[in-house]
Chain A
Amino acid sequence: MAKFIGRRLIYLLPVLLAVTLLTFLIASLLPGDLAYTILGDQATPEKVAALRAQMGLDLPIWQRYLLWLWDVLHGDFGRSFRTGETVLAAVLDRLPVSIELMIFAEALGLLIGIPLAILCAVRSGSAIDRFLTGLAFGKLSLPSFMVAILLIYLFAVQLGWLPATGWVPFTEDPIGNLRSFVLPAFTLAFAEWPVLMRVLRSDMIATLQEDYITMAKAKGLRPARILLVHALKPSSLTLVTVTGINIGRLIGGALIVETIFALPGIGRLLVGAIYARDFIILQGVVLFVATGFVLVNFVVDMLYAVLDPRIRHGRA
């Protein structure tokens, strides 16, 4: 196991380095001079030149990359030239909102997906299975911003049960805080459950063909016990992976939903930085989100290897 982790770790470092390089290159090579953006259209050439020198923009690109990487490794991701907020503070400030949303969304997705998958696997090929599989397929064509619009129309505009926007901190108004998360969490869960259901369903159909399930049936165990105790755990390997990868993706991938519902999370920070053309924040958040994504994938790999010994011995 230690050997396996070591091997994956050696692989992780170049990927992380490449992520920093790519993030830096996107921000540096593409058109648009940062000094101009900061000073505005009215800037004189002398002022721009002075600022460029001060920010080190006139150095060769590899030198700028190394300097930037040095700062990043020391926890200095830069500072917004609009608000003066450091990138690190901005990210840490928004992170709890994104994590809260992510947990609600993933839990709801599993809560909908797992029972439906079991139902489909047990009644595989039946009308209900075909209906749910078809529904899941159709849902894949319904992007989250459409679901959000539908939910807002139904529950905020027509019924008036829940707020469409208006986030409040948990410490100020716990109920109001939870209420503001209901619609965004459901929007994301709607995108999650079809994927989770499809994955678990096909694994479970395969598991239910195993001899030990027949054995359990022959022993006269109750169907519920067979399904939930004997069949669910060995079928949930892929489910764990997919759930993990989705969690990594939701760190920054919830940006559309966070923007629509005005939740002050990481995604909203990113979109806001683009609207404000605040490129330092943008670069920092992209780096943060991409690194988080890579690290979560790494942890999922580890988890997968713990659950399935074949992988760490390189045979699967």
Chain B
Amino acid sequence: MAVLEIEGDTALVSPVRRRRSRPSGLFLVALVWLALIGLAAILADFLPLVSPTDMDFLGKRAPPSAEHLLGTDQLGRDMLSRLIYGARISLTVGLLAPAIGLVIGGALGMLAGYFGGRFEVITVGCVDVLLAFPPLVLALAVTAYLGQSVLNLTLVIGVLSIPAFTRVARAVTLSLSQREFVVAARTLGATHTRILMRELLPNVALPLLAFFLLGVAVTIVVEGALSFLGLGVPPPAPSWGSMIGEGRESLDIAPWLAFLPAAFMFATVLAFNIVGDTLRALTDPRPATL
């Protein structure tokens, strides 16, 4: 089950170690796929694509042809075009929502971990309460009240991702703030702002970025799940999740209508997971075998 939480403790790290990394072939393939899908999503308007919402009732569920490279769906809309415009929505929500969590949660976590005291107690308490809620249920409920739109979806998932980022940022900051280089900076009379921005931030940034990439993967899945249920991105805008949901109705006559967007989504989520995990392994001093 996709959830908006990943074990925060795994990101406990020492200051950035520059290791000689040997990027695996899989890592490169993942990067290439992300670049491809990202470019296609950005340039969708300039690519020679049929409109993703133009219907052709005579050419429903057509097999691939010169006109429709990947065929058409149950309303005769071009599949390739819908997949690419769907990528646009998945990536927009997928990147923006965790970005909200990264900025707000990261800042809260760093402040809590650095200053401690009452502020930390309150922050940790709030994080615990928010994490006590089953995230998908909360996302569904809030979207139901707010109304369905890409903006609302991004905001809801973004706010829900704040606690997880807070937890990671606080844990990393805690383990760093007693280290020699921070103590040294403090002894030299550096201000809190300077210590936070110049000493701590560079070291917290990489584990947070790794967590961000894993968060993108989770968000794409959550957006897909909500759209699949018809409670995410409103039609007729194409989204991978809603395409899978619509394709489910014709699994017996045209299974590729569900399988194509599923394959795109799987490849993209897997790619983000691979890149995020590689980055996490780089910042994690513990041996990868355990």
Contact = CB atoms under 8 A, between A and B. Distances in A.
Interface of A: 14-15, 18-19, 22, 26-27, 30-32, 124-125, 137-138, 140-146, 149-150, 152-153, 157, 188, 191, 202, 205-206, 249-256, 259-260, 270-271, 274-275, 277, 279, 282, 286, 289-290, 293-294, 297
B274 to A, nearest CB: 8
A259 B241 CA distance: 15
11 contacts: A141-B217, A144-B1, A145-B228, A149-B247, A157-B251, A202-B290, A206-B290, A249-B134, A256-B136, A271-B229, A290-B133
Given A255-B136, A255-B137, 18 more contacts: A15-B132, A18-B129, A19-B129, A22-B133, A31-B146, A31-B147, A32-B145, A32-B147, A124-B289, A137-B277, A143-B221, A146-B262, A149-B258, A152-B248, A253-B136, A256-B229, A259-B229, A282-B144
B224 to A, nearest CB: 6
B229 A143 contact: no
A30 B133 contact: no
Interface in B83-136: 125, 128-130, 132-134, 136
Contact of A293 (B134, B231, B259, B277): B134
Contacts of A124: 289
B2 interface: yes
Contacts of A293: 132-134
B132 A145 contact: no
Nearest to A298: B132
B140 A271 contact: yes
Contacts of A275: 230
A282 B141 contact: yes
Nearest to A125: B289
Interface of B: 1-3, 125, 128-130, 132-134, 136-138, 140-142, 144-147, 217, 221, 224-225, 228-231, 241, 244-245, 247-248, 251-252, 255, 258-259, 262, 265-266, 269-270, 273, 277, 289-290
B38 to A, nearest CB: 17
Which 8 residue pairs are nearest across A and B when measured between Cβ atoms?
A: A30-B145, A141-B270, A18-B129, A141-B269, A274-B144, A143-B221, A146-B262, A294-B132
B140 A31 contact: no
B129 A22 contact: yes
B139 to A, nearest CB: 11
A153 B251 contact: yes
A106 B244 CA distance: 26
A255 B252 CA distance: 24
Contacts of B125: 14
Given A30-B145, A143-B224, A274 B129 contact: no
B269 A274 contact: no
A297 to B, nearest CB: 7
Contacts of B245: 145
A146 B266 contact: yes
B255 to A, nearest CB: 6
Contacts of B251: 149, 152-153, 157
Contact of B142 (A30, A144, A191): A30
A26 B160 CA distance: 13
Contacts of A286: 137-138, 141
